[in-house]
Structure 1
Amino acid sequence: MSGADGSGATFEALRGQLHEAATAFADGPGALEGILRGIVDDVERAVREPLEIFPVCHHSPASAIAMARRLREKQPKVVYLELCEDMAPLLTELRNCRLPVAVQAFASEVEGFPADWSPLSVVAPITEASAEYQAIAYALDTPGVELVLVDRSSDHVFQWEKDAETVEASPADTAAAAPDPDAPAAGEESALHGDAVGVEIGDLRPRFAELEEHLLRHGRVRHWSEWWHQYVELPLGDSDHDTYRQVMLLIGSLFRRLAPGEAHRVRVDEDRERYMWTRMREHLAATGTDPADCLYVCGAFHAASRVDEFGVHGSDTFTVSAPSGTTWRHGLIPSSHAAIEAQFGLAAGSVSIAATEWAKNLRRTRVKPYRLAGQAGTKPKKSLPAPTPAAAPVAPVDKLTGFLRRPPVLDALDEAELLGWSVEIVRAARRNGYLASTADAIAVFETSILLAGMRDRAKPTPYDFQDAAVTCIEKDRVPGRRDVGRLVEIMMGGDRVGQVGYDALPPLARDVHDRLAPLNLRLQQRGVQRALLDIAARPELGHCSDVLWMLRRLLPEGAARPIMGDRSLGERPIQESWDLALGTHQRSLIELGYEGVSIEQVLEQRLRRTAYAPQATAATVLATVEDAIVYLRSRRLADELGTRALEVLAGERSVDGAPEVLGRVRRLLAYYRTAEPVLPSWIESFVKTGYAHYCTLLPSAFTDEDATVRQVAAMLGFLFGMESLALSLGCDRTQLELALAQSHPAEPARTALLWAAQTHLGTLPRAALRERCDGLLANPLVVPAYPRYLSGFVHALEPVPALADFVVEAVSNAFARLPDRVLLPWLPTLITTLRAGGTELAPLIVREAGRIFPARLAELDSWVPPWRLPEAPPLGLPSAHTGDGVALLAAHPVTCDALAALLGCEGTWETAEPGGAELLTRHPGTVRALEALLAVS
């Protein structure tokens, strides 16, 4: 058909058929005439083009059958394919995969694009029942045939989105097709493509909502996938090449001319067409190839193009912009029918039905499809002879008139197929708990035919059958995990999930598989597998454990899940148990390969990226330090990130991360004190800087409404817990005393926290603290706020754990002294306050209460709380010659000598006046303290 002289008379019958359809959407006679002439002109223009245009629809079995048939007839020497040109090197790796898979371009670090777009990802899914796969397989396995990808590059996909000032949605939203209301929900399989931008060959769907609604209503179907299957897919399955081509051009032109005039989308569509025709003319000029020996495979929407650059004789007025500075990495990722349906807005099960239709078309038409040698168990192909010259072009013939008038016919083969479906769905329903019988199979069969007749169809479609099965079998409840609709989808082919073969994996993914080989698991298999690691008996499995923990850190949840075992600072594994699903999360593992050549390198890069991010806090940087030690065991990286944590801490002006900083510094100090001979210099500087930093922020934190009690308690915990180390490094305790003296909180919980800190420093005696709490309970105006004071005391256990007995005393006094009419109203407040703010500190209170309170109920009646026991009277100052002190020291001369030596006193024991008496005279306070301790004990 290419190269023939077109004539307007050839398509006069077509003009008459389109007249009535276009009237419903035209604004007037002028618009109607323009639509009619435009559609016919588009078809004629594409038919007359010397370079044959082959319009397709994405994942259409009819397009795939027509493509396979046309390739064997024409044997083109060059195949131009509408696919991102930078994906060409990956196509040879398709032979190492099991379809469906997706060709992906990925960029984790962007340059020239908004930072919130990162990571950038473009995918082009490929199924066996697709015209693009037939073209790829033919070109790669046929000697002397060249495959040229001519669509915009992945970089230009995002360049054009960035240049669109009117775009408000994300790039993925604008590039994908409009969502279908019956599209599948995003689940594990439908999320295989993530948030990637989908690139389709043949985005053939009405963009005019009223047109789609009109087609669905008059076609008596629920969604677009069903309309396409009934009115295009099935009729074109048996059509010849001319009929197929003209029908697809007609549909593409109709949808294009009735699409709304969205400026950005129209410009992107036209720029893509200019881009592709520019690339094709460049290739033709560079190679000198005859256009008659070429085939241009593109979506029917783009085949009906009206740009000036259209055709081999079009104008060369389009300039391809330079790529941005973003570095793109390419690879193959697994795909699935559900992922394709979710990304491109197709109805659930439509791609599975298309796969079933593809297999049926192959059996009926006996067309031999193209398949890449070595793929999915196929045998290597022998060398094929060189392509034969294409047949001479013939004049175009109008095939549309007869095609549009031909009704579908139901034959015996379709009836037998429908009967087989009915029997099979009843069998599947019984396996899933439904009370289905042979009568239900008959009912499904008859109901399918009835529904098809009600919808003006001569042949029930899989969608009619699904409706009939749901009506006749499901009834009022679903006894198992799957409803009947899902059972029909599975019966029609299910959600086929692809797999990228080992040889097509990036180096990082292959390295992971090699390092986990001692586990003797089929890691590429989908599903969960259990791995048992007895590291004590087989030390070589320790390296597998290291890999698994890093994968757990890098991959999504569920890819590597520990069942038994833990990885923390300073611990060595003995036995571990893992649930692995690397085959299910193959896409995520492949994308790691875009970031580096080993998981250690990727993890180190991510830790650095997190630590040096503009929004990084001291807590997040300390987390990277901990991860560097736990997962990488890298002292060099830990020191570098620790120095970064010191810098970030010095620049912080809030205390939001104080609790996490406290916990991580404690763990790191404990690790370094046991694993290293000396502390790293960075952590010493961190403690010293943190001590001064938190002393400075402490007064404002006590009064800051944005700071919580837990955060203030964490600051005090850092100051008190790190005090000995900080003072040894040169810090001054006076700074902490001044900070507490300048703190004047008004909120009850913070006030109690300040009292606890003052008690720890010795400026507020325990007796004075007890008096203040008694005063709170005695004041009726303060009693309602008493639970908040208790909350502050509970948080005070973080910096001052020695107050646990006092907290028990404060709670006990409240329950003992307050009447029920006062106690019961604020008891719920007390419980909720402690649960919300002191969950991790509650064990300290419980343990202390267990130590104080009697263990048996019988002892409770005679039990007296320790804080109510009478205190021992203060001892008077003994004289130099008489008193209990002299007698005590005389009875224990060794103790006296030891004390004298510690205090630097020299002397000997004498009968009249021993050296102990002289020591007592000089240091009476020490003797009183010693006597008090002995009296208490």
Structure 2
Amino acid sequence: MQEAATAFAGGPDALEDILLGLVADVDRAVHEPLEVFPVCHHSPASAVAMARRLREKQPKVVYLELCEDMAPLLTELRNCRLPVAVQAFATETDQFPAEWAPLSVVAPITEASAEYQAIAYALDTPGVELVLVDRSSDHVFQWDARAHAPAPEAGPDAPPEDEEAALHGDAVGVEIGDLRPRFAELEEHLLRHGKVRHWSEWWHQYVELPLGDSDHDTYRQVMLLIGSLFRRLAPGDPHRVRVDEDRERYMWTRMREHLAATGTEPEDCLYVCGAFHAVSRVEEFGVRGSDTFEIGPRTATRWLHGLIPSSHTAIEAQFGLAGGSVSIAATQWAKNLKRTRVKPYVLEGQSGRRPSKSRKAVAAAAPGPAVPPSDRLTGFLGQPPALDRLDEAELLGWSVEIVRAARRNGYLASTADAIAVFETSILLAGLRDRARPTPYDFQDAAVTCIEKDTVPGRRDVRRIVEIMMGGDRVGQVGYDALPPLARDVHDRLAPLGLKLQQRGVRRALLDIASRPELEACSDVLWMLRYLMPQGSARAIMGERKLGERPIQESWDLSLGTHQRALIELGYEGVSIEQVLEQRLRRSAYAPQATAATVLAAVEDATLYLRSRRLADELGNHALQVLSAERNVDGAPEVLRRVRRLLAYYRTSEPVLPPWIEAFTKAGYAHYCTLLPTAFTDDDAAVRHVSAMLGFLFGMESLALSLGCDRTQLELAVAQSHPRDPAKTALLWAAQVHLGRLTRAELRATCDGLLGNPLVVPAYPQYLSGLVHALEPVPGLTDFVVEAVSNAFGRLPDPVLLPWLPTLISTLRKDGSALAPLLIREAGRIFPGRLTALDAWVPPWLDRAEPVDPRPAGTGGLALLAAHPAACDAVAGLLGCEGTWETAGPGASGAVLAALHPDTAAALEVLLTGV
């Protein structure tokens, strides 16, 4: 105490003031007419003392330090397997920063906690009222300190972030009994002088063990002393002090309001709160305190409440406790019950409880040596290291079990190691001035004696000890306590015949072809896959595409493991269809939403909900978003999704929806307007411009049929003057498609580039543009193969080799559409056997340009004369009238061709392709 006062209170003279303050705080709390019961969260000693005091006092009203808006949920605890957490959740906030959403407050409850004893007593005892008096969940965030100070970091002994540690997510934890030093220096001082490694071990050694079987007065005074000491040595953070004091004013104001409204006598009540708040010095403290505190109104935030599964690991991670400390507390709770023979309170119908031992088994356990109540705490640290029979038997069992578990995990452990662990545990306890070995001593002894220089398996000895002590117990929310959405999901998946509420992975096989009723289950599973975290519903076989019906599917389901995520879906709606529709609307109408994002929502609405109404609404919104965009970053995604939706509607609907017709017209005009700028903009990549051209050329026939003008596209291409080589090649492909550039001219241009030494280093960039041109102009595939082949044959290695990674990355990125075209065309052109390669001549080198010296329109006269019926049919289609006149053998069509030269020229091109 002298050293602590010197280090943290300004000098040894401050010790007198601290001691007098401690006495005053304890005296004030003890003489309060409304009995104040100080507790520590998840403390077995607090739980035992609470159960004993409730049976002695039998209070009529229990005031509990817990968010007052969580009271309706407590009755549902009987339908759950502990540990679980009471949660308040809000997705849409009011008067809170947007980056805080969603808001979540959780209060975890375990069986070895004082608050559970109070809740079980109040709910199952007739005539007893349970009143929650702490600030509401809304006030938790109103007074939140996250904007003023960062959250405390987990220490080195905190459990790792894994799936179980994330059960509470990013929720704000509400703790009953904040009994931890408020700054690191004091905690380090206590750990160093207590010869322990972390706070959980200090608390277990110096509080849990002495108070585990103490009487009520001793327990109460010690807890008040600890709370007063930590409060007086806490740093003066103004914001935190104000929050603590406002909570105390809030709770005492609520209690006085209840006493005045019901007329209950304070002597018939019990106030359960953290020891830190039990020694409050605010003016509002006590039933005779002042009524000067005004409780502010709540915001308009709509809070939803429910129960979510919790676990020992999640509690440790949220409150910065050492790994395994909550499991050790559960073990200590069972020992305390056996030692003290206190009968705990348990909610009637509580599920998941371990069967209690019979009275005969409890009586067989020999109690420790009888010690007068006044001496149970006095001299505890000076007691000799002696074991009673119960602890010795327990330590022997631990030593044998750790060896057995270590051998299962690959360690070469033996009976000698069990003896060594037993003796080393006693030795370590003696070196640390402990009367008996604690689980932490046993853990250190096991690591020392069994774990040598390597870990043969997945688990080290420290983790094996944690599992042996009870492991990570995970709670479960019962079916009756689930929100309507979660119950509806389980009901709709009932035909699968799986126990989906259990933890672990369940394999579901859906033969929809033979059992059509399973298609409804398939719809639910695909929506869950979309809405829930990865791994909760994983498709092993089967996929969902537009216009396709499922035949067989296989799923790995772990809804029991991800029960919290399913419960939180219930906060957003009463059915998964409603939640999915809300999510799609939220993403489509978000401020940062693009046309591609909205089209994705349209596709998902069609794919998962089969909702034409929602798809039409979102499609009309996509049209507005596209018209407002001023960049082309989303053009590739827009092109892909519009193509899929258009193909789906053309095969499944009698007519196209009005929104997609309007989107095609607007997109055609929009991309024509942006095309010249995109060709010259350095921020617009080649694939973006290629996607724009793909939209314009791919949707051209539909757009023209809807009234668009092709002249707009021709003008946009004519006004485009790119400087980048890749975009220049892309422009050439567009000109070929529009007929403004022939293939011969394009081939001559490429040959000229290869023959120009100044341009050769940039030639691969032109080829990259031609490769991207396959998206809008797939008819150039053979020419691109020709150009790439010429590049491989004529480019020098210093230019060719650095370009190959670029070509490979381009094909990999757009391989789904471009690579098959190139591979198919290359397979058609190149010889199929290696032996034929030497004699093979590329078709572009063997091609001779056709030269016809005859006048236009006479090249196909012989063919026309040979097939007069075909000529008559084509002439009828073209609206030409005439009769055949013979002028000699073989010239039956000459006169008609001479009368209609334009028709003859068109037929020549049609029939000969020249």
Residue 918 to residue 117, structure 1, CA distance change in 2 (3 Å): farther
**C-alpha distance in 1 between matches for 2:863 and 2:237:** 101
Q: Determine what percentage of the aligned residue pairs are the same residue.
A: 81
The Cα offsets for residues 7-29 of structure 1, whole Å up to 9 and x where unpaired, read as xxxxxxxxxxx556433322136
The Cα offsets for residues 792-829 of structure 1, whole Å up to 9 and x where unpaired, read as 11111111111111111111001112344553454445
Instruction: Point out the more displaced range, 67-76 or 842-851.
Output: 842-851
Question: What's the RMSD between the two structures over aligned residues?
Answer: 2.2
CA contact (8 A) 2:5 2:11 kept: no
**C-alpha distance in 2 between matches for 1:907 and 1:863:** 50
Match of 2:398 among 421, 425, 430: 421
Match of 2:417 among 428, 440, 444: 440
Instruction: Point out the more displaced range, 697-706 or 448-457.
Output: 448-457
Match of 2:689 among 701, 708, 712: 712
CA contact (8 A) 1:225 1:350 kept: yes
Match of 1:94 in 2: 77
Residue identity in the other structure for 2:442: F
Match of 1:82 among 65, 78, 91: 65
CA contact (8 A) 1:878 1:886 kept: no
CA contact (8 A) 1:247 1:400 kept: no
Match of 1:520 in 2: 497
The Cα offsets for residues 810-868 of structure 1, whole Å up to 9 and x where unpaired, read as 11001112344553454445444544566752222112111111111111111111111
The Cα offsets for residues 395-423 of structure 1, whole Å up to 9 and x where unpaired, read as xx988973666637532322221121111
Residue 154 to residue 224, structure 1, CA distance change in 2 (3 Å): same
Match of 1:402 among 378, 381, 394: 378
Match of 2:243 in 1: 268
Determine helix, strand or coil for the equivalent of 2:175: coil
The Cα offsets for residues 675-702 of structure 1, whole Å up to 9 and x where unpaired, read as 1100010110000001101111111111
**C-alpha distance in 2 between matches for 1:628 and 1:232:** 58
Residue 606 to residue 403, structure 1, CA distance change in 2 (3 Å): farther
Residue 923 to residue 450, structure 1, CA distance change in 2 (3 Å): farther
**C-alpha distance in 2 between matches for 1:909 and 1:379:** 105
**C-alpha distance in 1 between matches for 2:802 and 2:579:** 56
**Aligned residue runs from structure 1 range 719-734, under 5 A:** 719-734=696-711
Matched, 1:220 2:195: yes
Matched, 1:772 2:749: yes
Match of 1:149 in 2: 132
Match of 2:878 in 1: 903
Match of 2:167 in 1: 192
**C-alpha distance in 2 between matches for 1:888 and 1:178:** 89
Match of 1:816 among 783, 793, 803: 793
The Cα offsets for residues 194-222 of structure 1, whole Å up to 9 and x where unpaired, read as 01110010111111211100111111111
Determine helix, strand or coil for the equivalent of 1:750: helix
Residue 858 to residue 552, structure 1, CA distance change in 2 (3 Å): same
Determine helix, strand or coil for the equivalent of 2:893: helix
The CA deviation at 1:887 is 2.4
CA contact (8 A) 1:617 1:649 kept: yes
Match of 1:182 in 2: 157
Determine helix, strand or coil for the equivalent of 2:164: coil
The CA deviation at 1:930 is 4.8
The CA deviation at 1:179 is 2.8
CA contact (8 A) 1:875 1:928 kept: no
Match of 1:747 in 2: 724
Residue identity in the other structure for 2:167: L
Aligned length: 895
Determine helix, strand or coil for the equivalent of 1:331: strand
CA contact (8 A) 2:403 2:418 kept: yes
The Cα offsets for residues 509-550 of structure 1, whole Å up to 9 and x where unpaired, read as 111111111111101000000011111111111111111111
CA contact (8 A) 2:883 2:896 kept: no
Match of 1:167 among 136, 148, 162: 148
Residue identity in the other structure for 1:41: A
The Cα offsets for residues 583-612 of structure 1, whole Å up to 9 and x where unpaired, read as 001111111111111111111111111111
CA contact (8 A) 2:547 2:648 kept: yes
Match of 2:768 among 787, 791, 794: 791
**Aligned residue runs from structure 1 range 471-870, under 5 A:** 471-820=448-797, 822-832=799-809, 834-835=811-812, 840-870=817-847
Residue 700 to residue 379, structure 1, CA distance change in 2 (3 Å): closer
Matched, 1:107 2:90: yes
Match of 2:861 in 1: 886
The Cα offsets for residues 123-161 of structure 1, whole Å up to 9 and x where unpaired, read as 000000000000000000001100000000000011112
CA contact (8 A) 1:791 1:834 kept: no
The Cα offsets for residues 228-256 of structure 1, whole Å up to 9 and x where unpaired, read as 11111111102111111111111111111
CA contact (8 A) 1:192 1:334 kept: yes
CA contact (8 A) 1:46 1:304 kept: yes
Residue 834 to residue 539, structure 1, CA distance change in 2 (3 Å): closer
Match of 2:365 in 1: none
Determine helix, strand or coil for the equivalent of 2:286: coil
The CA deviation at 1:114 is 1.4
Determine helix, strand or coil for the equivalent of 1:402: coil
The Cα offsets for residues 691-736 of structure 1, whole Å up to 9 and x where unpaired, read as 1011111111112222211111111111110010011111111111
The CA deviation at 1:88 is 0.2
**C-alpha distance in 1 between matches for 2:427 and 2:377:** 29
Residue identity in the other structure for 1:223: H
The Cα offsets for residues 880-904 of structure 1, whole Å up to 9 and x where unpaired, read as 9xx6633222111112212222222
Match of 2:48 in 1: 65
CA contact (8 A) 1:709 1:750 kept: yes
Instruction: Point out the more displaced range, 642-651 or 907-916.
Output: 907-916
The CA deviation at 1:464 is 1.5
Match of 1:137 among 117, 120, 125: 120
**C-alpha distance in 2 between matches for 1:212 and 1:378:** 36
**C-alpha distance in 2 between matches for 1:928 and 1:347:** 90
Match of 1:206 among 163, 171, 181: 181
Residue identity in the other structure for 1:615: Q
Residue identity in the other structure for 1:887: A
Residue 380 to residue 87, structure 1, CA distance change in 2 (3 Å): farther
Residue identity in the other structure for 2:841: V
Determine helix, strand or coil for the equivalent of 2:351: helix
The CA deviation at 1:782 is 2.3
Match of 1:239 among 214, 217, 232: 214
TM-score, scaled to structure 2:
0.95
CA contact (8 A) 1:99 1:128 kept: yes
The CA deviation at 1:932 is 6.1
Residue 910 to residue 926, structure 1, CA distance change in 2 (3 Å): closer
Match of 2:269 in 1: 294
CA contact (8 A) 2:155 2:320 kept: yes
CA contact (8 A) 1:103 1:330 kept: yes
Determine helix, strand or coil for the equivalent of 1:375: coil
CA contact (8 A) 2:158 2:320 kept: yes
Matched, 1:308 2:308: no
Determine helix, strand or coil for the equivalent of 2:627: helix
TM-score, scaled to structure 1:
0.92
Residue 186 to residue 825, structure 1, CA distance change in 2 (3 Å): closer
Matched, 1:347 2:347: no
The Cα offsets for residues 529-582 of structure 1, whole Å up to 9 and x where unpaired, read as 001111111111111111111111111111111111111211111111111100
Instruction: Point out the more displaced range, 908-917 or 51-60.
Output: 908-917
The CA deviation at 1:879 is 8.8
**C-alpha distance in 2 between matches for 1:379 and 1:21:** 44
What residue ranges of structure 1 are gaps of 5+ in the alignment? 1-17, 382-396
CA contact (8 A) 2:210 2:376 kept: no
**C-alpha distance in 2 between matches for 1:653 and 1:885:** 52
Match of 1:12 in 2: none
Residue 904 to residue 140, structure 1, CA distance change in 2 (3 Å): same
The CA deviation at 1:380 is 14
**C-alpha distance in 1 between matches for 2:719 and 2:907:** 36
Residue 331 to residue 679, structure 1, CA distance change in 2 (3 Å): same
The Cα offsets for residues 258-307 of structure 1, whole Å up to 9 and x where unpaired, read as 11111111111111111001000100111111111111100111111111
